[in-house]
Amino acid sequence: MFVGQKVMRLSQLLFGKMHVVVSICVWLCWLVLPCRACAGEDDLLLCRSCGHEVASDSDVRFIASRLALSHRNNTMIGDKRIPVQLFENPQGVQFEVVTFRRADVFKHWPADKHFTWYPGYSWTIATCPRCSAHLGWAFQPSEWPDIVTDAIFQESEQTFVALIIDKLLQENFAATLLMVPKSFRS
């Protein structure tokens, strides 16, 4: 009987404090499980139309243009402040873009030297290789031939890609959209 009473008291104590136990477990998990940023993992940027992996935050390379209408710091990728520039094309359409050292986009050569946003560089339209959505433009030195191979473009330090921020989606943000709502969990 004595042992039974002890077990009963212990279980009452445990279940009575269950919310404390759960809180401690959650807190410990939060401490032990490394976050992506702490683990040094790249935050991927996806095509907003189809989810294709276009670039990562480590590919960002800010290239300022004196032809930009404005620029601002945008907290776009994780906690990194990424500079965004506003450009206008000859038709008066404005685009906010982020520049990348490289990106997995399909470039539509031949490159055009006219109406460039970067003097000294010619440009090609850049589209998503999976769904063909227009994502931005690829820039290469204007003294280069109008048509080059993708390998030459990717390997060069003189090339870059400007992607329209509205056409991209952060992988981490996309993951939050895919989380199962609490009400659907058993």
How far is 139 from 147, CA to CA, in rounded Å? Answer: 12
How far is Cα 42 from Cα 21, in angstroms, rounded to an integer? Answer: 34
Per-residue binder mask for Zn ion (CB under 5 A), 133-152, x = binder? x-------------------
Among 162, 136, 174, residue whose Cα is nearest residue 48: 174
Instruction: Please name the helix (run of DSSP H) or strand (run of DSSP E) that holds residue 110, with its range, or none.
Output: strand 106-112
Closest CA to 58 of 77, 42, 73: 42
For residue 166, state whether it binds Zn ion (rule: CB under 5 A). no
Q: At what angle do helices 2-16 and 18-32 cross, to 10 degrees?
A: 60
**Residue 131 in contact with Zn ion, rule: CB under 5 A:** yes
Q: Does 24 bind Zn ion (CB under 5 A)?
A: no
Pick 49 or 142: Cβ nearer Zn ion: 49
Dig out the tokens for 184 from the structure. Answer: 């659907």
How far apart are alpha carbons 41 and 2 in whole angstroms?
Answer: 56
Of 9-17, 78-86, 125-133, 174-182, the segment contacting Zn ion by CB under 5 A is 125-133
52 touches Zn ion by CB under 5 A: yes
Query: Binder to Zn ion among 37, 41, 42, 49 (CB under 5 A)?
Result: 49
Site string for Zn ion, 77-116 (x = CB under 5 A): ----------------------------------------
Question: Which of 143, 150 has the CB closer to Zn ion?
Answer: 150
List of residues contacting Zn ion (CB under 5 A): 47, 49-50, 52, 128, 130-131, 133
